């Protein structure tokens, strides 16, 4: 076995003046920043080569939203990828993560967490599942409507332009499983919903361990990523602060439109000549959702009324 490599050490300086110490600290800081930049360059190049995100020929005549619209309408833009974060759902009443004052991380004090991110960490969840399921009850699907931004992406799909939508959030309410690696029994949505809204901690029927929502990224995510990005003609990023590395450093901001996600989608739809179509789609879908909710509520009320009237009759027969 060879000896460990020797690393150069800084010479200790005796009787340094405050000015000299400040210079040393400044040099150390510059070295750390340079090292960090080098690491990010390495990661950026690595992902660029892997995903095909290298530089391409110029396709926009100017860096404006109007130019993006012209490119989409030109017929040359056939594969659009959307990268979205929690911000696309805030207008529906679902909080994002990092917005000061209104973000999820800023409003978790009631759960008495050691730090905000703990509520989504599996190790903390296994010991303290209560905060997560309390939050899941608040954010459970079926209580919110899709936003204008969601319907804009649906329009891209319907027009054959959307290749894929990638979301920073992953996992699903529709499948869940036991957290024990020796069990992993799966449960469906109805089973989990009943547990959550009865204030019970979902426990596995087989081994009594906690049952958790599917949290792993599917294999399809990785295979699609490698196929999609080399074919991408336009990348639209919405609803994310892009603060998480290394992916935050992968996206080049060619055109920036600062507004809410819904306003940005309406602005782009207007430039594309689709605004009326988008607004009609939103109105039609909202009416359908409202009608469906009323029917479901009527069914629940009717069932409850039937149970209430059946009880006295049963007692009378006795």
How far is it, in rounded angstroms, from Cα 147 to Cα 99? 18
Active site residue 177: no
How far is it, in rounded angstroms, from Cα 20 to Cα 301? 78
From the candidates 128, 150, 170, 257, which is the catalytic residue?
Answer: 170
User: Nearest CA to 210 among 199, 200, 225?
Assistant: 200
| 3-state DSSP percent of the chain in helix, strand and coil, to 5 | 55, 10, 35
Using only C-alpha atoms, the chain has a radius of gyration, in whole angstroms, of 27
* Whole-Å CA distances, 269 to 70, 152, 170, 238: 11, 8, 28, 15
Do β-strands 234-238 and 80-84 pair in parallel, antiparallel, or remain unpaired?
parallel
How far is it, in rounded angstroms, from Cα 209 to Cα 218? 23
Half-sphere exposure of 7 (CA within 13 A, CB side): 2
Query: What number of residues does the chain have?
Result: 318
- Which residues are the active-site residues? 170
């Amino acid at each position: 076995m060879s000896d460990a490599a020797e690393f150069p050490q800084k010479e200790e300086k005796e009787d340094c003046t405050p000015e000299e110490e400040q210079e040393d600290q400044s040099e150390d800081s510059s070295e750390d920043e340079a090292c960090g930049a080098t690491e990010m360059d390495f990661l950026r190049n690595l992902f660029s080569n892997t995903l095909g995100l290298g530089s391409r020929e110029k396709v926009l005549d100017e860096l404006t939203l109007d130019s993006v619209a012209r490119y989409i309408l030109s017929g040359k833009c056939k594969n659009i990828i959307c990268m979205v974060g929690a911000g696309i759902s805030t207008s529906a009443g679902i909080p994002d993560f990092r917005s000061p004052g209104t973000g999820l991380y800023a409003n978790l004090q009631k759960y008495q967490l050691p730090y905000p991110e703990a509520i989504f960490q599996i190790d903390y969840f296994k010991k303290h599942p209560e905060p997560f399921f309390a939050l899941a009850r608040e954010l459970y699907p079926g209580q919110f409507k899709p936003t204008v931004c969601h319907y804009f992406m649906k329009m891209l799909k319907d027009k054959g332009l959307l290749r894929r939508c990638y979301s920073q959030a992953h996992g699903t309410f529709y499948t869940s499983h036991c957290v024990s690696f020796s069990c992993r029994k799966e449960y469906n949505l109805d089973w989990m919903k009943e547990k959550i809204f009865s204030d019970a901690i979902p426990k596995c029927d087989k081994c009594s361990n906690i049952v958790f929502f599917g949290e792993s990224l599917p294999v399809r995510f990785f295979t699609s990523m490698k196929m999609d990005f080399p074919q991408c003609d336009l990348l639209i990023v919405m609803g994310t602060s892009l603060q998480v590395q290394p992916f935050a450093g992968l996206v080049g901001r060619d055109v920036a439109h600062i507004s809410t996600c819904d306003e940005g989608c309406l602005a782009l739809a207007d430039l594309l000549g689709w605004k009326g179509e988008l607004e009609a789609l939103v109105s039609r879908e909202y009416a359908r959702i409202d009608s469906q909710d009323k029917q479901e509520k009527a069914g629940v009320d009717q069932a409850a009324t039937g149970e209430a009237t059946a009880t006295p009759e049963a007692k009378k027969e006795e």
